[in-house]
Amino acid sequence: MKLKMHRYEEIWLICGSSLLVIFMLLTGYQTFALGMGPPSHSETIDPQQVDRTAPFDKPGVNKIGDAEYEVVMTLEAFSFTPAEIEIPAGSTVHFILTSKDVAHGFEVAGTNVNAMVMPGYIQKITQKFGKAGEYLIVCNEYCGAGHQYMNTIIKVV
């Protein structure tokens, strides 16, 4: 007995699989040719040795250029170090983050910055702060009993 496929079923099946292939090619092209892939956790660190590993042995705000800053920050239950950051309006900030214990979140309210900070990995995010104001940094990854108190502020002056 020959299995007879309905004509329309055949057409839609071809349409569906072609679209799948097109989207896969498109995603691959964006990821590899245009470099639009999600940031990969390529840099690792021993979470037990954070305090003794550069640059995390000196957390803080460093001016690295004209209106360009580097913020080296460690996260642990339930705080961010350095706790308070002040930068001039119009600055571009390169955050370099790692966790000393469990997975934390790093979300800067009012911006697109929203990342997970895992122990053992170095997370890097760049953000420009155009407008003056106070930007709230919150941990948005449940990390224990004090999770809801884990926050700090970036002052853009």
Residues that bind ligand CUA (CB under 6 A): 78, 104-105, 139, 141-143, 147, 150
CB of 44 to ligand CUA, least distance (A): 20
**Residues 6 or more apart from 86 whose CB is under 8 A from it?**
61, 154, 155, 156, 157
Cβ distance to ligand CUA smaller for residue 88 or 146: 146
Pair 96, 124: CB distance under 8 Å: yes
Cβ distance to ligand CUA smaller for residue 70 or 104: 104
**Cα–Cα dist 56/72, whole Å:** 6
Q: Please tell me whether the peptide bond between 129 and the residue prior to it is cis, using omega within 30 degrees of 0.
A: no
CB of 134 to ligand CUA, least distance (A): 20
Cβ distance to ligand CUA smaller for residue 70 or 141: 141
Q: What are the tokens at 72?
A: 């080296």
Pair 134, 155: CB distance under 8 Å: yes
CB of 78 to ligand CUA, least distance (A): 6
CB of 138 to ligand CUA, least distance (A): 8
Cβ distance to ligand CUA smaller for residue 26 or 83: 83
Cβ distance to ligand CUA smaller for residue 91 or 99: 99
* Rg, the chain, Cα only: 22
CB of 50 to ligand CUA, least distance (A): 15
To the nearest 10°, report the CA torsion of 153, 116, 101, 126.
Answer: -60
